[in-house]
A and B are shown apart, each in its own frame.
Chain A
Amino acid sequence: MYTSLWAFEEDQMGQTLIGAITDYFREGNSDSEDSELRFATCQSLWKHVKLETEQIEEDLNTQLFDNLVSFLRRSHSEFQEKTAEWNCRMKSREIPTAALVLGVNVTDHDLTFRSLSEVLQNRVTPYVALLQAKDCPGIKNLMQKLLGQLMNCYVDVDSSEEDDYVQTSQNRIRCSMTSLITWYESVTKKTDFETPSKKRTSSRHWQSPPVVVIFKDMESFTTKVLQDFIVISSQHIRELPLVLIFGIATSPMIIHSLLPHSVSSLLCIELFQSLSCKEHLSTIIDKVLLTTQFPLKLSEKVLQVLINIFLYHDFSVQNFIKGFQLCIVEHFYTQPLSVLCCHQGELKKRINSLSHNQCENIRRLPSFRRYVENQPSEKQIALLTTDSFLKETVQRLLEDLNVYHENYFPVLRCLHVFTSSLPKYPLGKQIRELHCACLENRVWETEEYESFLQLARMLNKCDLVTMLQKCVEILMSSPGKEFDKTVEKLKEFLTQFQKLEAEACQERDESVSSQKELQKKTDLYHLQKTLLELKESRRSKKLTKFEMLRFEVVDYIDSVVRNYLVPADHKTLHEIVYFNTASVLREHLNAAPRVALHTALNNPYSYLKSQALRSDGGSISNKAPDICIVYKLHLECGRLINLVDWLEAFSTVVTAVEGPNADAPSSDQVDDVIHARFIRAVSELELLGFIKPSKQKTDHVARLTWGGC
């Protein structure tokens, strides 16, 4: 239901807003070529990415949700079946509780809970309430929220009962457990007497479906509210089959620290753990970024910014996806040639319809210039003058680029198979690290790659064979056409290894016999001699067949890597499909408010772009806004600032250049207007949190930022 609502909203918005947004796409951009087409491509690409990521999330969560659903099923059925048994009579009835550990990425939880409640409503019970700590400062608010959500949800499930609902809402519902119980009784009774046609819909649920209450953020709830709620509901557990779900961000220990034993003994807590966000991110990167599915690619720096924000700051997969969205929008907005960043099918048409301006844009691309320089001179002229020839070449080049990608990713995965199983992970444990290393520069020129090769030459046979088998699998399943030969070669290696095995048996026999010989000779002189011989032979010993083969394999892998894992920015026209302005991304996603504020006040030109402010080399211009002058002056002060001195300095700065023009006022008396301006600027600084009034000294204010001595 939620998604359909979204779609509806989007549709409507699309109708009214698309025009406006495309305008934005055109505005403020010198290259407005094909802006509409670019906008459309951008939208459709994002839609695909969004669908894909949502699908991935759903798949990742299925396991967890299945476990939860079966827990909910189990939770009350036991008591419903055999209430008469002695065991059940004697046991105190605890409230079934699922402790759902979701990790510290709180921003992602919303989505998880939304899909969880959807799953529950589809498969277990229509009665699901989601509670948030900020809505429930007291037990009263909690009950209100709970009742509101539950009684509303009933209307959602069955709209024919609407009249009834209106009635109850008119005489204000007493928000107590008793009214909840009477509501539950009436609701379940109603479904019992439903007509068969209606029963079909309710058959998904059982006769008395449990009421699920989800506490989204367990950590933020106050102890008292939780305790009271648990105590109250445990008294009515027989009439109201309640199930609690605690959303926990840190560790399940929090339950014990929030609830005393007398309360936690009323609960029957089972633990559920969601997939860690790091694994989630790996899957997203693997399925969205490391495929040829989406034409847009991220350069190494951009990817590094996104991953760093994830690992260093928030662990939020949603933010990562949002960052990717920003990349998409930014790329299509700033790069006029991004119109060519589309699927292969449409490419030809789009290239043919390129305008002359766009052709010029292509010629201006650095990678294309490099390409032209390496061409014979007559071709150079043709490329630079004839649009049609250029278009042909561009199409060929873009197709090449696509083939490069088709080969790049499978080979990358193969290399990852090797690197991820070596000790100390020379090229990174995760495939994303390897990917970044390959994008950055020629991976085979790095030291890490050297150590990787050395380690790979020491692999034992068993590992090597399984790795080769994995590589064969990866290459077979890839769409690239050039891998037939590679696969064949790898398979050949595998058969050779098998042959070796047979031979190895024989060899072992031989070595055993030589050992026996050694044992025969008990004479000291002879023994010494043979040992020396053995040593000699070992030193100059030819490599065994296995070792030879291993060298061969590693060399072959090396050649494949050199062939296919060329960094993308060595490829012609990579600017079209790679988004690489990392600085923009960093500015937007990892904002530094203090730095921005300082820049604005210290160097107003950077924001105001007024020429008058430009020629400013450390001195204080009187053209700057008052607050900037006051700020700069206060930077020179210590922890306490004398207001009078400050005012005098301010008035000197302001009147310094005005002086010659205006009639010089009497020097010792500060102009009222200037005084007022000063006061205003100072109070603005106070509002921004740079200073505060101080009680230590009269007529002084205290600095709140660093730099004071």
Chain B
Amino acid sequence: MPNLEHSAYPAATLLRLESLVPCRESQVSMLLSIFGERQQFSFPSIFIYGHTSSGKTYVMQTLLNTLQLPHVFVNCVEHFTSRLLLEEILIQLQNRSSETKQAAHVPCDTFNDFVRLFKQAVVSQDLQDQTIYVVLDRAEQLREMEANILPAFLRLQELTDRNVTVVLLSEIVWELFRPNTGCFEPFTLYFPDYSIGHLQKILCQNHPPEYSADFYAAYINILLGVFYMVCRDLKELQHLAALNFSKYCEPVVRGEANERDTRKLWKNIEPHLKKAMQTVYLREISSSQWERLQRDEGEAGQLKGLSAHAHVELPYYSKFLLIAAYLASYNPVRTDKRFFLKHHGKIKKTNFMKKHEKTSNHLLGPKPFPLDRLLAILYSIVDNRVAPTANIFSQITSLVTLQLLSMVGNNDQLDGPRYKCTVSLDFIRAIARTVNFDIIKYLYDFL
């Protein structure tokens, strides 16, 4: 019994549509009832939102394609200016029926032009008596364009006086869109996340032709058992399923187990999937490298992930500059005397600790410091005399471009620039170790 019913479309088409959009039947039937029949005016704008890969784009695309509704599908990230976006819509509209792809390209700078050209296009394409659907994917990008774009799209039906519906797809809620000046409220529709059952059902749909559906379903079950905790992204799961399936089949191919021997298969695949979660899922190693490893029966340990190469080799003074910057960022200014003056006397931590400084500076994050302080600390931590050469200053700048330091508020050159040290404690300890500098001794937090 078909869940989708609509008088305007043949039952066979609806049945096919239903098979294409598993677990989204209620949303589709809702959309169908809003759309109405072909010639009927629909709601001017519809806002669909839901998490990543909850099937928004896919459902819209299949729906419009299967029912052969006239539509335009545009990604707002790809068309990053309003001009590109509007032109793209017009081009797609013009190219709908005409075979010649290179229709004369008309510049469209403003929304006013767009409305005019849109009307022309509708007439020329002979679409007056059908609803045209303009789907804007990743619609959150619209907020970054000119202020008039979003409100204008929402009431495109009214502005063009044509039978058109704008569908906005986004990952964030409508409340974050609503402009200050107010606008036409679209009809909002929420696509909930797929549950684990849904994921199982969808993933099992595309089983490889060589193996039975049950066998693949068992595999998907194991896969979800491992990955569902960390990843609910359907695309990613599908990708992981494809990557690791050959490993799952191995015992069967070698004849050590048959397809029903689930326990044996599970024992074979489970550690492998766990390893995949730590490496390929995090993109520590690439999927092609992962596949090669599987093929060559190599150990994943041989191949170091990206994070294993954390060490950065720096010139000698750059290392000290970075250490000095770290000290300046995490030590309160008052304590500099204690650390870097020879005859500072005995000051205990408790004596000069103010109340607000009891919280660890490492929890609060780095604080900005002026250039002079950095240089002063540098001169006192380097054993031999450092001349303030141009090279030292350019090294500071290169540390900024390497994103090891960051510049804070560089509005006034004369005021002396201020910096922050952005590296982690582990990183700076590794650096300090290479120059035999005991950085922990100089950090206020570890006193």
Q: What residues make up the interface of A, taking CB atoms closer than 8 Å to B?
A: 74-75, 78, 86-87, 89-92, 94, 96-97, 99, 101, 103-104, 106, 139-140, 171, 174, 176-178, 217, 219-220, 228, 231-232, 235, 249-256, 261-262, 264-265, 267-271, 273, 276-278, 309-315, 590-595, 686, 689, 692, 704, 706
Contact = CB atoms under 8 A, between A and B. Distances in A.
A178 B306 contact: no
Given A176-B84, A314-B315, A692-B415, A251 B310 contact: yes
A649 B382 CA distance: 39
Contacts of A253: 306-307, 309-310
B313 A90 contact: no
Interface string B73-93: 001011111001001100000
Contact of B401 (A220, A231, A590): A220
Interface string B370-393: 001000000000000001111111
B407 interface: no
Nearest to A269: B286
Interface of B: 52, 75, 77-81, 84, 87-88, 105, 206, 208-210, 233, 235-236, 238-239, 241-243, 245-246, 282-283, 286-289, 304, 306-307, 309-318, 372, 387-395, 398, 401-404, 413-416
Given A92-B238, A592-B389, A235 B78 contact: yes
Contact of B372 (A103, A177, A706): A706
Nearest to B242: A90
A271 B309 contact: yes
12 contacts: A139-B80, A174-B87, A251-B311, A253-B309, A256-B306, A262-B233, A265-B283, A311-B315, A313-B391, A313-B392, A592-B389, A704-B414
Contacts of A103: 313
B317 A313 contact: yes
A178 B402 contact: no
B403 A314 contact: no
Contact of B402 (A87, A249, A255): A249
A662 B394 CA distance: 50
A106 B209 CA distance: 52
Contact of A90 (B238, B316, B388): B238
Nearest to B413: A689
B242 A91 contact: yes
A256 B316 contact: no
Given A591-B389, A594-B388, A174 B84 contact: yes
Contacts of A86: 206, 208-210, 242
Contact of B312 (A99, A106, A251, A256): A251
A101 B309 contact: yes
Given A174-B84, A269-B286, A106 B401 contact: yes
Contacts of B80: 139-140, 228
A313 B315 contact: yes
Nearest to B311: A251
A104 B312 contact: yes
List 5 A-B pairs, minimum CB-CB distance, nearest first: A90-B242, A313-B391, A252-B306, A86-B208, A268-B286
A440 to B, nearest CB: 18
A591 B315 CA distance: 18
A196 to B, nearest CB: 30
Given A139-B80, A270-B289, A104 B387 contact: no
Given A90-B241, A271-B309, A312-B315, 6 more contacts: A99-B306, A254-B403, A264-B283, A268-B287, A278-B313, A313-B392
A64 to B, nearest CB: 15
Contacts of A313: 315, 317-318, 389, 391-392, 395
Given A94-B287, A176-B88, A219-B403, A595 B387 contact: yes
A261 B282 CA distance: 7
A311 B287 contact: no
Given A92-B239, A250-B312, A312-B315, A140 B77 contact: no
Contacts of A220: 401, 403
Contacts of A268: 286-288
A349 B140 CA distance: 80
A312 B390 contact: no
A262 B414 CA distance: 42
A219 to B, nearest CB: 5
A592 B81 CA distance: 47
B403 A592 contact: no
Contacts of B401: 106, 217, 219-220
Given A174-B84, A270-B286, A271-B306, A250 B390 contact: no
B402 A595 contact: no
A385 to B, nearest CB: 48
Contacts of B210: 86
Contacts of B311: 251
A268 B290 CA distance: 10
B318 A104 contact: yes
Contact of B387 (A177, A256, A592): A592
A152 B391 CA distance: 38
B286 A590 contact: no
Max chain A Cβ within 10 angstroms of own Cβ: one of B52, B88, B306: B306
B416 A704 contact: yes
Nearest to B286: A268
Contacts of B312: 104, 250-251
Most buried by A among B78, B79, B81, B395: B78
Contact of A592 (B88, B307, B388): B388
Nearest to A71: B288
Contacts of A101: 309
Given A90-B238, A312-B315, A692-B415, A74 B391 contact: no
B239 A90 contact: yes
Contacts of B283: 255-256, 261, 264-265, 267, 269
A565 B77 CA distance: 68
B239 A104 contact: no
